[in-house]
């Protein structure tokens, strides 16, 4: 399997829950996934600050995109799904841009470990995550645009 191009990955993962969060991918490679989200009231918990689950979801989303991209570029194929997400919330914010960067710590045939940092518009760390992924085969019948199978 191979990934035809970065734009195909952005198009594939730029929908669903990640899109509902407002994640805009800016860089997608096997070694780095970066993006931004403009935080607003839709991301708040009842007390007017960004809900911690938003950070957890951004971490798992970007790590999974990176894991998938690496599996495709390495020739292993398949996809990666989250099996553990440990996110620490370091600074509360209400609005503004948050930058997300996911980088690999370990990549193996069965599992991967990714570190994700989320910073505010002033470059201050607002949350950090460690996400463990399980490498799995694509479920039967699932196709991914931009991914080709075969030799």
35-46: b or e for each residue (b if 16 or more CB lie within 10 Å)? bebebeeebeee
Token couple for 5: 């191009």
Q: Active site residue: 6, 38, 60, 101, which one?
A: 60
Distance CA 61, CA 131 (A): 10
Residue 76 DSSP label: -
Active-site residue, 6 included: no
Query: Hey, which residues are catalytic here?
Result: 60
């Amino acid at each position: 399997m191979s990934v035809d191009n970065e734009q195909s990955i952005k198009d594939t993962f730029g929908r669903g829950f990640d899109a509902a969060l407002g994640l805009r991918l800016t860089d997608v490679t096997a070694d780095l996934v970066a993006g931004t989200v403009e935080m607003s009231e839709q991301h708040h918990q009842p007390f007017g600050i960004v809900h911690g689950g938003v950070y957890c979801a951004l971490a798992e989303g970007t790590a999974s995109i990176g894991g998938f991209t690496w599996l495709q570029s390495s020739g292993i194929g398949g996809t990666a799904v989250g099996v553990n997400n440990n996110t620490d919330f370091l600074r509360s914010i209400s609005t503004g841009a948050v930058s997300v960067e996911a980088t690999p710590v370990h990549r193996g045939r069965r599992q991967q470990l990714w570190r994700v940092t989320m910073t505010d518009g002033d470059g201050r760390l607002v949350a950090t995550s460690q996400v463990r992924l399980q490498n799995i085969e694509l479920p039967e019948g699932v196709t991914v645009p931009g991914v080709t199978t075969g030799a």
